[in-house]
Amino acid sequence: MTIGTITLDCASMQEPDAGTIDRIARFQVAVRRNGGDLRLENASRSLLELIDLCGLAGVLRVEPGRQAEQRKQPRGVEEEGDAGDPTA
């Protein structure tokens, strides 16, 4: 029997720490053991960044900065080419 997708509302996780990440990761393991998938909802930027910092973005299947409400505006980097450089 599979349990499908479980949505975890993270709105109350305003000041996440290592313990928060540990609990989410353990919940993810339990959900997957039962054939389900965990989806984080209303995750704050700080939670997403902490997940990424811990190296768990791929494991928890979240991409910090990629959710529409969390997206950062891209900062363009303009490189000046050297006139003597044939690759410029």
Q: How does pLDDT run across 41-75, given as a tens digit for each residue?
A: 899 999 999 999 998 888 887 654 444 344 344 45
76 vs 51 pLDDT, higher one:
51
Residue 10: the pLDDT is: 92
Mean pLDDT of 21-43: 92
Q: For residue 83, is it within any domain?
A: no
Residue 47: the pLDDT is: 93
Q: For residue 88, is it within any domain?
A: no
Mean pLDDT of 29-42: 91
Q: For residue 22, is it within any domain?
A: yes
Residue 81: the pLDDT is: 57
Side-chain-facing half-sphere of 14: CA atoms under 13 Å: 1
Residue 54 domain boundaries: 5-69
What's the CA gap between 34 and 44, in Å, rounded? 27
Q: For residue 87, is it within any domain?
A: no
CB neighbours of residue 15 within 10 Å: 8
Q: For residue 86, is it within any domain?
A: no
The number of folded domains in the chain is 1
